[in-house]
């Protein structure tokens, strides 16, 4: 069973949210939106790179865009492996919250 | 406005952009620059260039920082793992690690201390700017009787060579005035280190002026520059410049204050007065008197040999013929400034020479100790590393390749040796205070930051780490993991040889050191206890000064004697020109006779009637001076036995009544004294002539017959104040000053002793650790023997045999080496001990005892263990 850290989960969810539209700038905006905290591009790519190395995220260059000056932009998507890992983490979290007694956090 | 418009279609700051491109992986794979630029442009159009640029820079800087941090973390991952394992390993065997590290640390610490000392001694006088160009001119006089070298030359020499030798940049003379009476207002003291010199002195030597003007300080006669400590002593916090002090009754104006001379200077001064003050004195022009220490600073790239030759070509023309003795030639030679302290040992040096031989000895000791500690370290490390064979096996199974293993083990021992060296620096820092006390020096921790030392320490770390780690690294890593995990290692034989050699050499070194220490101490106590031919106990000396060529005691002899003999605690009063031990109080006089074509040197001691009585000097023949015979003072002399032999008399009795050889005034030998050691046991007894002389008997010798020395001192002081009310009362005890002669030998003895002890201690630690290791390995063997019925004592004996053999072998090696070197050292002494066999036996048994105690503790512990427990460990 693979344990994803919260950060990793966050990024995977962000990428999934963006569907077709998942590229650098947008992912950053999404994560900032989700967490409420801003980050520099360096951190963004640190985490993305980590996910790519582990095989949870795959990159893809497609299409030309006038905004990127003619170069193909890099798009990210979650791999099968990644989806599986995310699923496991989700189950783990859910069972954790379920196992907690009702009024513990009151 | 103008700028904004222009920038609206602007580009991101190129430098920041360059930072992004430096993150190569992100640039290649994710095109980071493009993405960031996009946001940049949107900010640009919304908020203007300034905001956009600031944002961009922020992104660049922080991102780059984060990127490099992550890269660093990733790339050091393996290294951090090794670090962790290394640490865990050390902690797991705290005992061994402690012994190992501490042993090595102590060894390195000792070595560093010794080397600091040696370096200090070798650094004398090299702090002067351009010290390589500074030389002292010394003189050599040759006659058919032999050669005499002096470090000082006639005062008239300097002006001559300055005029004729263009290579000289600066030249200055120094004339010594040893003890002077200094008075300022109500402060009255005798001060040492008073000199007369010239302005060029400050151009030759690097002297820092704290007050006053260095270019004019010694311009006028009767001006003086004082040292910082003197300024504090006499003037407190006031500015001394411009004030007047009295030196031996003459007024001098203070024109400057200089900082105190550093410790590593052969020339130390408290007062530098202008030589012009003595312009009219005889010695300034007299070629016969070698009154001045003369220093020159040559121009760059000058040939000192050529200069030396030039001096010798010029000077003979200037020595006027009536001042020259015809069969007497003088030559001059140059001494490089930095060589003076260690290598110049002429008569009447400014500061007694350091002894380069001792420096070698110390360095060798230091290196020996280092080798001992190092051997320990390597020995123990290698021994312990065999235990890690299983770890090696495991790692290999999990997939480590050979290179990684090698790196791991090497890193491990490098780490330990790094620890050890750090610990050694801490030890040195802590021990420095005691070391300074021992050597009477003032070394500071900062000397450690010398590049040479730092470099050698680094090299030491690397070499040690490599040597200690090489066995496991290269050897163990090559093993077949299956075999290793099963526990079949068959390298016993080779390793045992290694261990044996290491331990034996270590012990040999320690034994050599023990023997040397014992010899040094025997020689010292021999010198101290040997009867010197006179009684040095209970004698108090008052050295008085000479003023205008005569002592202040002149004419007052009876007065002084009566005053002191009033007190019951004083049983004898005598006057002389100098004292046994020849501390710098009096006048040294001597000469040479020509007897049967060879030159015989002799010394002259001026004494009064009571000298022999005070010192209980025995007569071999004839009589001593007697008051009844007034002719004694005019015509009589006493000589010692050596003198009578030198003069050719076949026995002392024969000499009595004869005329003294080479005597110009026909002096008759009244008596011959038994030889006594005027100089201590380092030199042979020279022929001695003794007679009275009113002008030169400035030293008052008082024999005290009470145990209460402090009471005696106060009564004597009272007497002194009656006789010389204005003069300060200086005194010392003869036996104390005599023993100071051996100070350098004592220092040597102490230092060798301490470091021998340390070396032995380190060897013990090593042996202790090693023995416990061996004992541990043999627990099974011991247990089986016990089960089969051996008694504990038998087992202990059996196991110890090996160690005993090693110690004996070490002794065999050490004895000849030690004998050879100590014999050589003893050649330095005219009167020395014979190195008896008992010293070797003591050293040998000492080493055996120590080794056995270290080892037996472990073995007994192992032997007592319940065999069931040991065998169950499988």
Residues in chain A closer than 8 A to B59 (CB atoms): 40-42
Q: Nearest Cβ partner of A46 from B36, B58, B67?
A: B67
What is the ipTM for the molecules in this complex?
0.86
Mutate to test the interface with B, among A21, A45, A57 (most CBs of B within 10 A): A45
Give yes or no for a contact between B260 and B290, defined as CB atoms under 8 angstroms apart: no
Tell me if B63 and A43 make a contact (CB, 8 A cut-off). yes
Question: Hey, what are A95's tokens?
Answer: 């069972």
Q: How many CB pairs under 8 A join A and B?
A: 58
Q: pLDDT band at B6, cuts 50/70/90?
A: very low
- A87–chain B nearest CA distance, Å: 26
Q: pLDDT band at A74, cuts 50/70/90?
A: confident
Contacts of B224 (CB under 8 A, 6+ apart): B245, B247, B252, B253, B254, B255, B271, B272, B273, B274
Task: Check whether B483 has a pLDDT greater than 80.
Answer: no
Residue with more model confidence, B192 or B423: B423
DSSP string, B646-709: HTT-SSHHHHTTSBPTT-TT--EEEEEEPP--SS-TTSPPPPEEEE--TTT--EEEEEE--S-H
Q: State the pLDDT at residue B159.
A: 86
> What percent of chain A shows pLDDT beyond 90?
32
Cβ atoms within 10 A of the Cβ of B41, count? Answer: 16
Q: Determine which of A5-14, B124-133, B244-253, B821-830 has the lowest per-residue pLDDT on average.
A: B821-830
Q: State the pLDDT at residue B481.
A: 62
Residue with tokens 């010239």: B198
pLDDT digits (tens, 9 = 90+) for B648-673: 888 888 878 877 776 666 778 888 88
Tell me if B35 and A43 make a contact (CB, 8 A cut-off). no
Tell me if B62 and A42 make a contact (CB, 8 A cut-off). yes
Q: Determine which of A77-86, B290-299, B381-390 has the lowest per-residue pLDDT on average.
A: B381-390
Q: State the pLDDT at residue B585.
A: 44
Q: pLDDT band at B341, cuts 50/70/90?
A: confident
Q: Determine which of B157-166, B379-388, B752-761 has the lowest per-residue pLDDT on average.
A: B379-388
Q: pLDDT band at B1, cuts 50/70/90?
A: very low
Question: Hey, what are B262's tokens?
Answer: 């550093």
Which of B6-15, B64-73, B171-180, B526-535: highest mean pLDDT? B64-73
Query: Average pLDDT of A58-69?
Result: 68
Q: Which residues pair with A74 in a beta bridge?
A: A61
Residues of chain B whose beta carbon is less than 8 angstroms from a beta carbon of chain A are 23, 25-26, 29-32, 34-36, 38-39, 58-59, 62-67, 70
Q: State the pLDDT at residue A71.
A: 63
Dmax (CA) of chain B: 126
Mutate to test the interface with B, among A22, A41, A43, A57 (most CBs of B within 10 A): A41
Tell me if B30 and A59 make a contact (CB, 8 A cut-off). yes
- CA B54, CA B19: separation in Å to the nearest integer? 14
Q: State the pLDDT at residue B322.
A: 46
Question: Hey, what are B554's tokens?
Answer: 């002149």
Tell me if A42 and B66 make a contact (CB, 8 A cut-off). yes
Contacts of B418 (CB under 8 A, 6+ apart): B461, B465
Residues in chain B closer than 8 A to A69 (CB atoms): 34
Tell me if A46 and B62 make a contact (CB, 8 A cut-off). no
DSSP string, B115-138: HHHHHHHHTTTTTSTTGGGEEEEE
Query: Average pLDDT of B735-748?
Result: 70
Coil/strand/helix, residue A73: strand
Q: pLDDT band at A86, cuts 50/70/90?
A: very high
* C-alpha dihedral (B20, B21, B22, B24), degrees to nearest 10: 110
Question: Hey, what are A11's tokens?
Answer: 């990024």
Tell me if B34 and A49 make a contact (CB, 8 A cut-off). no
pLDDT digits (tens, 9 = 90+) for B20-52: 888 888 888 888 888 888 888 888 888 888 888
Task: Check whether B559 has a pLDDT greater than 80.
Answer: yes
- CA B687, CA B693: separation in Å to the nearest integer? 19
Tell me if B30 and A49 make a contact (CB, 8 A cut-off). yes
Task: Let me know the angle formed at the C-alpha of B117 by B434 and B360, rounded to the nearest 5 degrees.
Answer: 130
Q: State the pLDDT at residue A13.
A: 92
Task: Check whether B168 has a pLDDT greater than 80.
Answer: yes
pLDDT digits (tens, 9 = 90+) for B781-821: 777 777 887 777 777 777 778 888 888 888 888 888 888 88
Residues in chain A closer than 8 A to B33 (CB atoms): none
Q: State the pLDDT at residue B17.
A: 84
Sign of CA dihedral B528, B529, B534, B539: positive
Tell me if B59 and A41 make a contact (CB, 8 A cut-off). yes
Q: pLDDT band at B9, cuts 50/70/90?
A: low
DSSP string, B448-514: GG-HHHHHHHHHHHHHHHHHHHHIIIIIGGGS-HHHHHHT----HHHHHHHHHHHHHHHHHHHHHHH
Residues in chain A closer than 8 A to B66 (CB atoms): 40, 42-43, 46
Residue whose C-alpha is closest to residue B558's, from B513, B608, B596, B602: B608
Task: Check whether B339 has a pLDDT greater than 80.
Answer: yes
- CA B604, CA B524: separation in Å to the nearest integer? 28
Q: pLDDT band at A47, cuts 50/70/90?
A: very high
Tell me if A74 and B29 make a contact (CB, 8 A cut-off). yes
> What percent of chain B shows pLDDT beyond 70?
85
What is the bridge-based pairing of β-strands B688-691 and B598-606?
A: parallel
Give yes or no for a contact between B278 and B271, defined as CB atoms under 8 angstroms apart: no
Q: State the pLDDT at residue B318.
A: 73
Query: Average pLDDT of A30-57?
Result: 90
Q: What is the DSSP letter of A23?
A: B
pLDDT digits (tens, 9 = 90+) for B690-717: 887 776 677 788 888 878 877 888 888 8
Residues in chain B closer than 8 A to A45 (CB atoms): 23, 26, 30, 32, 63, 67
Residue with more model confidence, B592 or B435: B435
Q: pLDDT band at B586, cuts 50/70/90?
A: very low
Give yes or no for a contact between B538 and B703, defined as CB atoms under 8 angstroms apart: yes
Which of B64-73, B555-564, B724-733: highest mean pLDDT? B64-73
Distance of alpha carbon A60 from the chain centroid? 15
Residue whose C-alpha is closest to residue B640's, from B621, B658, B667, B654: B621
Which element (helix H / strand E) includes B639?
A: strand B636-640
Tell me if B26 and A49 make a contact (CB, 8 A cut-off). yes
Q: Nearest Cβ partner of B31 from A43, A52, A71?
A: A71
Q: State the pLDDT at residue B382.
A: 73
Q: Determine which of B371-375, B714-718, B746-750, B867-871 has the lowest per-residue pLDDT on average.
A: B867-871
Residues in chain B closer than 8 A to A18 (CB atoms): none
The CA distances from residue B589 to B76, B250, B577, B668, in Å, are: 77, 28, 9, 19
- CA B458, CA B465: separation in Å to the nearest integer? 11
Tell me if A42 and B63 make a contact (CB, 8 A cut-off). yes
Task: Check whether B470 has a pLDDT greater than 80.
Answer: no
Tell me if B62 and A45 make a contact (CB, 8 A cut-off). no
pLDDT digits (tens, 9 = 90+) for B506-549: 888 888 888 888 887 888 778 777 777 788 788 888 877 555 45
Residues in chain B closer than 8 A to A67 (CB atoms): 38
């Amino acid at each position: 069973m693979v344990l994803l850290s919260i950060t990793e989960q966050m990024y995977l969810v962000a990428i999934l949210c963006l569907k077709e539209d998942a590229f650098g700038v947008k992912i950053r905006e999404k994560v900032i939106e989700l967490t409420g905290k801003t980050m520099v591009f360096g951190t963004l790519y640190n985490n993305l790179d980590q996910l790519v190395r582990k095989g949870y995220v795959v990159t893809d260059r497609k299409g030309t865009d006038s905004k990127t000056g003619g170069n193909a932009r890099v798009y990210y998507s979650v791999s099968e492996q990644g989806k599986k890992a995310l699923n496991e983490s989700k189950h783990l979290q859910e069972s954790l919250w379920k196992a907690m007694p009702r009024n513990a956090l009151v | 406005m103008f700028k904004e418009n222009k920038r609206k279609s602007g580009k991101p700051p190129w430098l920041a952009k360059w930072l992004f491109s430096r993150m190569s992986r992100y640039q290649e794979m994710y095109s980071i620059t493009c993405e960031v630029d996009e946001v940049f442009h949107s900010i640009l159009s919304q908020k203007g260039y300034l905001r956009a640029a600031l944002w961009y820079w922020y992104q660049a800087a922080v991102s780059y920082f984060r990127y490099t941090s992550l890269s660093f973390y990733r790339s050091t991952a393996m290294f951090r793992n090794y670090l962790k394992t290394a640490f865990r390993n050390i902690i797991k065997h705290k005992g061994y690690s402690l012994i190992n590290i501490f042993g090595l640390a102590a060894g390195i610490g000792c070595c560093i201390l010794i080397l600091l000392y040696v370096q200090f001694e070798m650094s004398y006088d090299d702090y002067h700017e351009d010290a390589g160009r500074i030389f002292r001119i010394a003189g050599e006089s040759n006659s058919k009787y032999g050669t005499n070298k002096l470090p000082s030359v006639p005062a008239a020499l300097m002006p001559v060579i300055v005029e004729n030798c263009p290579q000289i940049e600066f030249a200055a003379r120094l004339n010594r005035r040893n003890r002077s009476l200094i008075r300022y207002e109500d402060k009255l003291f005798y001060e040492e280190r008073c000199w007369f010199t010239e302005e060029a002195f400050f151009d030759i030597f690097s002297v820092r002026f704290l007050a006053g003007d260095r270019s004019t300080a010694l311009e006028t006669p009767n001006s003086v520059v004082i040292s910082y400590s003197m300024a504090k002593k006499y003037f407190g916090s006031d500015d001394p410049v411009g004030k007047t002090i009295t030196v031996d009754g003459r007024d001098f104006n203070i024109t400057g204050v200089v900082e105190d001379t550093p410790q590593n200077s052969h020339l130390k001064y408290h007062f530098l007065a202008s030589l012009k003050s003595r312009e009219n004195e005889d010695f300034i022009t007299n070629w016969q008197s070698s009154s001045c220490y003369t220093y020159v600073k040559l121009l760059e790239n000058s040939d000192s040999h050529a200069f030396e030759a030039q001096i010798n070509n010029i000077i003979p023309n200037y020595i006027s013929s009536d001042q020259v003795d015809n069969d007497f030639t003088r030559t001059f030679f140059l001494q490089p400034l930095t060589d003076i302290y260690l290598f110049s040992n002429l008569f009447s040096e400014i500061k007694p020479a350091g002894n380069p031989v001792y420096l070698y000895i110390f360095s060798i000791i230091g290196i020996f100790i280092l080798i001992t500690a190092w051997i320990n370290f390597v020995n123990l490390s290698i021994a312990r590393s065999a235990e890690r064979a299983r770890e090696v096996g495991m790692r290999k199974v999990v997939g480590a390749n050979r290179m990684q293993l090698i790196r791991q083990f090497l890193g491990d021992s490098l780490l330990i040796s790094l620890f050890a060296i750090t610990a050694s620096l801490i030890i040195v820092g802590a021990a420095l205070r005691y070391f300074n006390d021992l050597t009477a020096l003032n070394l500071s921790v900062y000397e450690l930051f010398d590049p040479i030392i730092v470099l050698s320490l680094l090299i030491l770390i690397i070499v040690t780490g490599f040597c200690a780690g090489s066995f496991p690294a290269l050897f163990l890593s090559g093993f077949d993991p299956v075999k290793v995990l099963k526990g079949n290692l068959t390298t016993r034989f080779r390793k045992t040889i290694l261990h044996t050699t290491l331990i034996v050499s270590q012990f040999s070194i320690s034994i050599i050191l023990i023997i040397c220490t014992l010899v040094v101490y025997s020689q010292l106590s021999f010198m101290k206890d040997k009867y010197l031919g006179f009684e040095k106990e209970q004698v108090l000396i008052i050295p008085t000064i000479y003023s205008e060529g005569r002592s202040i005691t002149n004419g007052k002899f009876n007065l002084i004697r009566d005053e002191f003999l009033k007190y019951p605690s004083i049983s004898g009063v005598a006057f002389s020109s100098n004292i046994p031990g020849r501390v710098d109080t009096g006048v040294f006089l001597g000469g040479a006779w020509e007897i049967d074509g060879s030159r015989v040197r002799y010394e002259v001691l001026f004494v009064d009637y009571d000298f022999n009585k005070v010192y209980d000097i025995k007569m071999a023949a004839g009589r001593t001076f007697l008051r009844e015979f007034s002719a004694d003072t005019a015509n009589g002399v006493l000589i010692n036995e050596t003198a009578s032999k030198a003069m050719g008399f076949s026995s002392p009795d024969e000499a009595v009544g004869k005329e003294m050889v080479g005597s110009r005034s026909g002096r008759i030998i009244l008596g011959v004294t038994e030889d006594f050691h005027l100089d201590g046991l380092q030199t042979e007894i020279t022929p001695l002539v003794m007679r009275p002389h009113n002008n030169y008997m400035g030293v008052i010798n008082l024999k005290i017959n009470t145990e209460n020395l402090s009471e005696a001192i106060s009564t004597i002081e009272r007497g002194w104040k009656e006789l010389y009310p204005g003069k300060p009362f200086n005194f010392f005890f003869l036996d104390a000053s005599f023993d100071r002669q051996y100070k350098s030998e004592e220092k040597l003895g102490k230092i060798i002793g301490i470091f021998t002890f340390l070396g032995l201690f380190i060897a013990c630690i090593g042996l202790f650790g090693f023995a416990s290791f061996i004992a541990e390995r043999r627990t099974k063997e011991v247990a089986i023997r016990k089960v089969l019925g051996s008694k504990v004592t038998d087992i202990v004996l059996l196991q110890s045999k090996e160690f005993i053999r090693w110690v004996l072998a070490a002794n065999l090696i050490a004895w000849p080496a030690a004998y050879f070197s100590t014999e050589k050292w003893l050649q330095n002494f005219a009167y020395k001990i014979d190195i008896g066999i008992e010293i070797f036996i003591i050293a040998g048994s000492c080493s055996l005892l120590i080794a056995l105690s270290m080892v037996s503790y472990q073995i007994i512990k192992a032997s007592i263990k319940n065999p069931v427990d040991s065998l169950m460990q499988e």
